[in-house]
């Protein structure tokens, strides 16, 4: 396989150096989702005019890339004629196609042509603090055929040896005293969320474990739980504001808090410093829904939360609450806690829910479950339980028959 000579990076400021570090830690290079885009043909064509027009080329390139692939995808200019594109919103081939489409548009604008010979793209194979190595890409090459599903070979959540998922070490535990329930402990951890169609990390989920059942807590206690989650989220969003964010974050807040005008306003005030970052990166999970919750009130609450997050989903923790998902629920997706279901019950529920949304994430998937079957039923994303026996479980891996 051809490999381009290592490209030396120009001196980077602290912000861009941190971005490169986050991209390395996220495993995007190993997943083939980091690309090097060179507009050397544009510089060659412009000749002596390059120095006067290069900033226009940089701005046009970055603007078009960001417009086509907004956060959590990232783009960093690393040399005078090269951009690094880190694609976390889709698989490697789709990311390559999107980058090529933008590249062709920019070439057409500055050169008046879009020939493959001018399309200088490569896939990054190694990313260091001062250099990048890459392999050339043939833009006319077709995507690889999809992997066949072998009967009797379930895909399971397994931890790859020697790899810790980014953010997974972050956790928090706090307690507060409730007049009604006494001392309540809230433990918060991070769990990678995997796309089942391409076996890649698509997001990270904030998961919490309470010493009491959520339904047993008073409205004030649930608001205190949400405050602790918001504080934890703030530590993540500070990094996102600095670096642009490499992944979406799934974050649960209770329906009790979000459906109350005063409680919601207090939560918004608490999230004020990170609200802009939340709108780019956070998928809000409306948690604590039970059977009999008025659908109209759910619609109203989702509408009131539109300005808080990039997207909104309904979170279901009880089998009896799935009835409310079968119709028009008004959310962009659904999150289901696997611990409340048998595998057969969940497969049936998902087959019904998929009529209203294609975005279905299942949290807390047991190690023994067949993810291929879940994917065929309509599950789009899955995560393991960060508190259970599979806490170290981090990625999807197909097992041989």
Given the structure tokens 């393991």, which residue do they identify? 384
Given the structure tokens 């402990």, which residue do they identify? 185
Domains and CATH numbers, the chain: 4-136 (3.30.70), 155-398 (3.20.20.450)
Query: Which residues make beta-bridge pairs with 158?
Result: 395
| Contact in structure between 184 and 211 (CB atoms under 8 Å) | yes
The CA-atom distances, in angstroms, between 247 and each of 89, 113, 306 are: 8, 35, 20
pLDDT tens string, the chain, 401 residues long: the values are 455 666 777 666 666 677 787 787 777 787 788 999 988 889 998 999 998 998 999 888 888 887 777 667 788 888 888 889 888 777 677 788 888 888 888 888 888 887 777 888 888 988 887 788 888 887 655 444 333 323 333 444 444 444 455 566 678 898 988 888 889 999 999 888 888 876 767 788 999 999 998 889 999 999 999 999 999 999 887 765 554 455 688 999 999 999 999 999 999 999 998 888 888 789 999 998 888 888 888 889 998 998 898 889 999 887 777 766 666 667 888 999 998 888 888 888 887 788 778 889 999 988 888 888 888 888 989 998 888 765 444 444 433 33
Whole-number Å distance between alpha carbons of 39 and 139 = 15
- Which residues, 6 or more positions from 304, have their beta carbon under 8 angstroms from its beta carbon? 258, 264
Whole-number Å distance between alpha carbons of 330 and 103 = 36
Q: Which two tokens stand for residue 213?
A: 């059942």
pTM given for the model: 0.62
**Within 13 A of 285's CA, how many CA atoms are on the CB side?**
27
Given the structure tokens 């409680």, which residue do they identify? 263
Whole-number Å distance between alpha carbons of 132 and 4 = 9
Closest among 373, 336, 8 to 155, alpha carbons compared? 373
Sequence-separated contacts (24+) of 42-46 with Cβ below 8 Å: 42/81, 42/106, 42/107, 42/110, 42/111, 43/80, 43/81, 45/110, 45/111, 46/110
Query: Which residues make beta-bridge pairs with 314?
Result: 286, 334
What backbone phi and psi angles, to 5 degrees, belong to 186? -120, 120
Tell me the residue ranges of DSSP E strands in 289-352: 311-316, 333-337
Whole-number Å distance between alpha carbons of 199 and 129 = 28
- The per-residue DSSP string of 340-369 comes to GS-HHHHHHHHHHHTTT-S-EEEES--TTS
């Amino acid at each position: 396989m051809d490999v381009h000579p290592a490209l030396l990076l120009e001196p980077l400021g602290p912000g861009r150096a941190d971005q490169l570090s986050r991209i390395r830690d996220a495993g995007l290079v190993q997943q083939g989702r980091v690309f090097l885009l060179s507009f050397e043909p544009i510089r060659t064509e412009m000749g002596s005019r390059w120095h006067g027009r290069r900033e226009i080329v940089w701005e046009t390139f970055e603007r078009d890339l960001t417009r086509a692939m907004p956060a959590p995808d990232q783009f960093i200019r690393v040399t005078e004629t090269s951009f690094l594109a880190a694609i976390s919103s889709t698989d490697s081939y789709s990311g390559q196609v999107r980058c090529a489409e933008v590249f062709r548009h920019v070439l057409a604008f500055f050169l008046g042509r879009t020939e493959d010979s001018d399309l200088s793209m490569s896939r990054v194979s190694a990313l260091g603090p001062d250099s990048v190595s890459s392999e050339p890409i043939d833009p006319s090459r077709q995507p690889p055929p999809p992997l066949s599903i072998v009967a009797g070979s379930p895909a399971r959540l397994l931890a790859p040896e020697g790899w810790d998922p980014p953010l997974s070490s972050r956790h928090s535990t706090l307690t507060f005293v409730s007049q009604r329930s006494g001392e309540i402990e809230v433990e918060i951890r991070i769990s990678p969320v995997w796309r089942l169609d391409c076996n890649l990390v698509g997001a990270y989920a904030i998961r919490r474990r309470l010493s009491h059942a959520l339904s047993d807590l008073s409205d004030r206690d649930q608001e205190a739980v949400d405050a602790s989650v918001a504080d934890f989220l703030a530590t993540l969003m500070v990094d996102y504001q600095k670096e642009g964010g490499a992944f979406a974050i799934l974050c649960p807040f209770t329906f009790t808090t979000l459906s109350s005008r005063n409680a919601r306003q207090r939560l918004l005030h608490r999230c004020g410093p990170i609200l802009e970052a939340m709108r780019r990166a956070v998928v809000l999970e409306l948690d604590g829904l039970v059977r009999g919750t008025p659908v109209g009130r759910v619609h109203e609450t989702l509408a009131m939360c539109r300005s808080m997050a990039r997207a909104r989903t309904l979170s279901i923790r009880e089998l009896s609450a799935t009835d409310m998902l079968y119709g028009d629920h008004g959310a962009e997706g659904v999150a289901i806690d696997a611990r409340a279901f048998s595998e057969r019950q969940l497969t049936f529920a998902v087959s019904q829910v998929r009529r209203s949304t294609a975005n279905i994430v299942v949290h807390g998937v047991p190690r023994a479950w067949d993810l291929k079957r879940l994917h065929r039923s309509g599950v789009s994303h899955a995560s393991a339980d960060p508190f259970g026996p599979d806490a170290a479980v981090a990625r999807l891996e197909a097992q041989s028959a």
